[in-house]
Structure 1
């Protein structure tokens, strides 16, 4: 071959190396028999590729074949065909195999509702599939796949044209090597070219950079394969070695390097006249993309706040643990954990404090479990524990006790000292359920029962709890309609100054007259109302009704009568409490100094700073404040002197069995002495006999309440009692 022939061949090679798909004369064909999906696919492709490619939409395989036959003679290239698998007249794999026979250069992507092994296998066997994408797809991932396919198509077109030119000019076009190298250097991928014997004959700078190899001037080509294989982790090194012995179809793999990098590797065997002349491998650094995928995967199965497994991951782990327990004949436990009255803290102090508290709780929970146990955030203030491989119920009990103990110390968060307790429901495999759904349901039933019994405890599931839980659920449903159906009533019990026998106050006590169950104990329905939030609406009704009734009595001549109304913890920390009480007093025309509000000691200790603010606001309105059930909670004297209480009510548990030689006698004596020192009224609850009355008088307890004086009375009976008292006073 003469110099002119070599020169002409070199220019021909240069032209082939710079060949790209003419975007203005290229089309992407989409095939799907469902118009909505086809339209959506078309819109997504047009948004990203519509300026460079024509996006053709057809709804059947026959139309796709006809369209290709129309476009190709017009010189319009078809770099990519995307087809659905399930279509009525011609399935997607059948269509793509036919099109591959007609247009082998066109890349094909199969859309399928699931990883259809048969369809994908047919296409792979026919070398007719570039990639399959499962439905529903992520638009970003789909566009990345399509753009990669288009780049691949361009590369394959370049490689095909290079082979043709190289066949014509053979190896005498030495000058063409520099042009080829320029093409290699221009690509964003690292390129490695091997001859038919597997020896390195070419590579670009990007390849050096990706693999972190010595500079090209220092690199021995014979060492390249050894160096890159040494960088690979197993089994990827063996996978790359095996590539030399594979068939001629293109290969696409992901490789992991020892330095943590992740590379995508595409390899293509090069042939001339059916003879292998070498292999081209392209490498792309996808480390950051893989990291992003790992983060997304982690976020899909973990709670964003606590980084604990979420419900989805817990369900998976529970299924695995149950399978193992069944095979090995072992026990496991599922524990539901609910943070008692967490919502009150969250609503009053804000979500930032609530979130910090949750994270602090999680740290304490982690200290209570074994390494193989799983803690998951079930949602809100609920957590679940999976305790695999336990020997007996006592193992689960021990962990439950550790959790109760771990949460007992106060939490210091942003200048707030918070106390929180937990309720735990436990279900054990196989006694309490042999499948995940039953175990979770029964653990939840046990938890529900703990909360109904007063919280801050644990409960193992028993069959007895099931029927009781259904009864409580039915009661809760009825509670939602009780106020609307006027099933509530207020009873009044007098508080007496014992030295003068004067009725100084009446306490308003809520009663529920259920249409089927009769009178329902407040101890049963008030915790339910507190839990579901109905207590705020019910409490407002009690306040308004009691204030209105007191005003009626005052108009009847009982001008100095005071009504005492209980506030629940949830009602106390409600943001609108002070404003609501102000409106009620205004609407009922009751003077603030004729209203006393009773707040339990436990409620005030939940958030002492906020409690002090609320109590001070109420006191400034002229309302009297009473600490209810004193002695049953924290009995913190240091806090008591800082709160604006005017009355302390001694809980009936100290009064019922009172005698001169009992420890309760000393306790009440201490409380009355304390009250005198702080200028507080002391009211003893639960006085049911004259003996108790006289005993309490010796302790200088001047105010009493109980059945000895009067049972709680309906409005009519209370009115009669008060009028009788008024007449006696006259």
Structure 2
């Protein structure tokens, strides 16, 4: 109706035309553009515009009708009668419109793709089969610092010069590029390391068109922070945080590698186990921060003392292990050990205080002392304990006899754990005499062990073992009860000793139940607190200062007298001892 009205027909004339010609017009316009339809107003009922013509030409593409071309004109013979020509005009118009739409859609797609690529965190580079640059995103130019003018020129050679100057291994970069161009279908992923410390992950895959490789796409991602984090995690997994030395895991892996090489080459490998002597006393004197400072000092000295190719690791609190591969003789390990001993025993200052530190070292040698890492470590540890038994500040080389000694110690420990219940322990008393009057004023309780097979076991054989295993706590309580009972008995019999002295170990002082145990022993036997003296070693006083001061203050408040024995063998000073509620000090001969 609108087209007919535009032609100048009235509404009634238009209705008549559609009534008579509508079906033919519809067939023409839906016939896939097979021919053009011509409508003349000269037809009956067409109105007063005779001699004019309206031609409707379907506008079609190859697959669909897009619209209608309307042509108005005067009627002339033969004019617009070539329907094939009109159909071709309609088809040409349809294809042109489709092409414009495709170009618009293509431009929108290209714009979307470009925007997407520029917003990614990866640098993208697209090259042709010859390597010439065809496309790139803004991130690529930014990451590599290549001027856009060079990239837009497509000159891959000039762009490559910017790349190679930044890399740690430019030759490897070139080799990988050549390898991929020689294998067009190959994909690749690796890391590029820059001179400035950056790390890029590089990924490359072929670009295909209709199944054929026509170039290559490269993507680059900055993974510097991720790589640093991975390296940190890897370092922490294999290194000691405090000293930076390899840890136990790294040490054991290195030892297995060195042993495998020694087997192939028929060489010797020495393993050394080192423990700082009385490190806990240092730690308790200046605190954990001071102890850490000492560990860092000696760790640096250990690194300086060994050869290139040797390994030193921290495997515990104050325990260090060494691997000395390729030694000619066992004595070679002894030379290194003596160098370490001399270095450690040098006077040093830690946390503002002077210390004389020593160490004990045990040595085992492959293959005579063990064929695997576990055996060598175990035997070096055994030798180290023998060095401590021999006065510390020395080194010992493992011998099979040491293992027998260790087994004997384990057996002794087992027997000691049953000594109380078997009533094998007993007390002897050493009188304390007032030189001015000659009177016995007190007595020191001395613990003894009568072993059913070994006979009388000396205190220096089993007391350290009891302290190490914790058996000293129940044994110490038994001694307190026995000494209180004896002191009360002397008093009731009117005998000389006015008080009894009991040694208390560091392990007992650290236990929260010491005050209660003393109170029970006194109450059980009705002994006055002033009749009980407690003797502590200097080392016991120096451990965990705040808890020790609290415990000693409570004991002193009960009325007990407190004494420090063997003063001068540790790290304290008389000024330092003023902080503690001490009544008496026994000074060691070596002070």
Q: Distance in 1 between matches of 2:528 and 2:347?
A: 39
Q: Match for residue 398 of structure 2?
A: 461
Match of 2:377 among 440, 445, 454: 440
How far is the alpha carbon of 1:298 from its aligned partner? 0.8
CA contact (8 A) 2:567 2:587 kept: yes
Q: Match for residue 231 of structure 1?
A: 166
CA contact (8 A) 2:203 2:218 kept: yes
How far is the alpha carbon of 1:314 from its aligned partner? 0.2
Structure 1 portions without partners, runs of 5+: 18-175, 652-666, 672-730
1:529–1:647 distance in 2 versus 1, CA, 3 Å: same
Structure 2 portions without partners, runs of 5+: 1-91
Q: Distance in 2 between matches of 1:465 and 1:624?
A: 43
Alignment of 1:559-598 (within 5 A): 560-572=497-509, 577=514, 580-581=517-518, 584-598=521-535
Q: Distance in 1 between matches of 2:575 and 2:200?
A: 66
Q: Distance in 2 between matches of 1:478 and 1:11?
A: 96
Q: Match for residue 44 of structure 1?
A: none
Matched, 1:393 2:330: yes
Matched, 1:508 2:508: no
Q: C-alpha offsets along residues 645-677 of structure 1, whole Å, 9 cap, x if unaligned?
A: 5464777xxxxxxxxxxxxxxx9xxx9xxxxxx
1:548 alignment partner, SS class: helix
How far is the alpha carbon of 1:588 from its aligned partner? 4.2
1:622–1:390 distance in 2 versus 1, CA, 3 Å: farther
Match of 1:517 among 445, 454, 457: 454
Alignment of 1:136-215 (within 5 A): 176=110, 178=111, 180-215=113-148
Q: Distance in 2 between matches of 1:542 and 1:367?
A: 49
Q: Match for residue 526 of structure 1?
A: 463
Task: Report the RMSD for the aligned CA atoms in angstroms.
Answer: 3.8
CA contact (8 A) 1:208 1:216 kept: no
Q: Distance in 2 between matches of 1:639 and 1:426?
A: 38
1:7–1:251 distance in 2 versus 1, CA, 3 Å: farther
How far is the alpha carbon of 1:304 from its aligned partner? 2.4
Match of 2:261 among 300, 324, 330: 324
TM-score normalised per structure 2: 0.72
Q: C-alpha offsets along residues 7-38 of structure 1, whole Å, 9 cap, x if unaligned?
A: 333355467x5xxxxxxxxxxxxxxxxxxxxx
Bigger radius of gyration among the two = 2
Which piece of structure 1 moves more, 390-399 or 571-580? 571-580
How far is the alpha carbon of 1:312 from its aligned partner? 1.0
Alignment of 1:102-501 (within 5 A): 176=110, 178=111, 180-216=113-149, 220-222=153-155, 223-232=158-167, 233=169, 234-343=171-280, 351-408=288-345, 412-414=349-351, 420-497=357-434
How far is the alpha carbon of 1:631 from its aligned partner? 7.9
How far is the alpha carbon of 1:472 from its aligned partner? 0.8
Match of 2:492 among 555, 563, 566: 555
Q: C-alpha offsets along residues 538-587 of structure 1, whole Å, 9 cap, x if unaligned?
A: 32332232123212322232375221222334445656656654554455
Q: Match for residue 102 of structure 2?
A: 9
1:379 alignment partner, SS class: coil
Alignment of 1:90-109 (within 5 A): none
1:337 alignment partner, SS class: strand
1:235 alignment partner, SS class: helix
